[in-house]
Structure 1
């Protein structure tokens, strides 16, 4: 069963619980999902707990009688013994994002450059790249993915976003950061050198990037 399927099944079982048992299970969910336990294992444990609680409820027992007074303490031993994410997984994650973004960039440069070579005899704008562009694509891809992940984490378990109040301070900080980035980008773009690059070199870098993604980041 996939993670989303288990979440939906957990939601279905929760609807059959009494308010006090449901509240207890929700505290368990928060405790375990905030732990370093692997996402798949997390949902397996939560689904097992929901089924066990529902069976106990049918016999007239409460969540406290089954799991104890503290929802977090029930999972402490499980958390310590359950498989967790490898220590280097975050490093690999933050290396993979700019690697993939730059791979796509060189792919675009190679395709555009080869088409321009075939049609006009010169690669044109696809035959050069600014050092600032390389930095911006690498760093910007991490920021963009992090923003996307934060937005996804704000989704409810039924895939509908939670309504959130308008935060004028956060909006103001985003605007300030955007203005600083624009002015810094204009300055750095003129300061940093532009590197000539053949479409064939871009193609070679694209192939290296794809191979690296497969054998470094997506290896089993």
Structure 2
């Protein structure tokens, strides 16, 4: 059975559960889908758990009696048995993200700079870049991609459970962090040198970066 079909079947089974059991099952789903377990195997296990839940529910049992106090307990042994990504592979993955982000940055500088150079005779702001910007794009892209992938892994293809939204307090904390990051960035940028760079040099760096991605990270 395909993943999408199993997800739909799981959704149907959850509709037959009591509200408390459904909530528990949805927490189990989020736990499993955010783990390292391969997608097809994860959905098979979730489908088995949903069927077990309904069988035991018909006998008057609730989710905690069936699976344990915490939604992740039932699958803990399976999840922990999946080997973590090797450290070297993980660093290669992070390097690829940074490399691709910097390649994109130089592509923007090249394209925008050449267009402005053709129109006005000067590349303007696209003829220089701060070392801080280079470091920020290289490191920040890794953080953003990791957060994005973690969020996407908790979602399904249909009406499966969605992650719980931030509460007001949590939102306030994130806003404060963003404000601090903006002011810190503005302050730190003045401490780093600004490099003059021709749009043509940016274009060469962009093409070189793209070639590097192909030869180093996407070799067949």
> So what's the TM-score if we normalise by structure 2?
0.67
1:86 is matched with: 85
Change (3 A) 1:161 1:72: closer
Please point out which of 154, 167, 171 is paired with 1:165: 167
User: Against the structure 1 CA distance between its residues 176 and 62, is the aligned structure 2 distance closer, same or farther, given a 3 Å change threshold?
Assistant: closer
Q: Deviation string for 1:156-176 (max 9, x for gaps)?
A: 872766455311x651x4444
Equivalents in 1 of 2:218, 2:4: separation in Å? 22
Q: Say if 1:166 and 1:110 are closer, same or farther in 2 by CA, change over 3 A.
A: same
Q: Helix, strand or coil: the match of 2:129? A: strand
Q: Give 5+ residue unaligned stretches, structure 1.
A: none
Q: Give the alignment's Cα RMSD to 1 decimal.
A: 4.2
Correspondence 1:19-168 to 2 at 5 A: 25-26=25-26, 28-29=28-29, 32-33=32-33, 35-50=35-50, 53=52, 57=55, 70=68, 75=75, 78-79=78-79, 84=83, 86-88=85-87, 90-145=90-145, 148=148, 158=159, 162-167=164-169
How far 1:12 sits from its partner (Å)? 1.6
Structure 2: where are the runs of 5+ without partners?
Answer: none
Deviations 1:5-28 (A, max 9, x none): 543331122223567875775565
- State the partner residue of 1:181: 181
Size of the alignment, in residue pairs?
212
CA distance in 2 between partners of 1:180 and 1:21 (Å): 41
Distance 1:191 1:17, change over 3 A: closer
Contact 1:113 1:123 in 2 (8 A): yes
Q: Is the 8 A contact 1:35 1:79 kept in 2?
A: yes
Residue 2 to residue 99, structure 1, CA distance change in 2 (3 Å): farther
| Cα distance, 1:110 vs structure 2 | 0.9
CA deviations 1:47-91 (Å, max 9, x no partner) are: 3443x538x839x77889xxx76586764664466x555324543
Scaled by the length of structure 1, the TM-score of the pair is 0.67
CA contact (8 A) 1:104 1:206 kept: yes
Q: Distance in 2 between matches of 1:18 and 1:133?
A: 52
Cα distance 1:137–1:2, how it changes in 2: closer, same or farther (>3 A)?
farther
Work out the CA distance in 2 between the residues paired with 1:206 and 1:117: 18
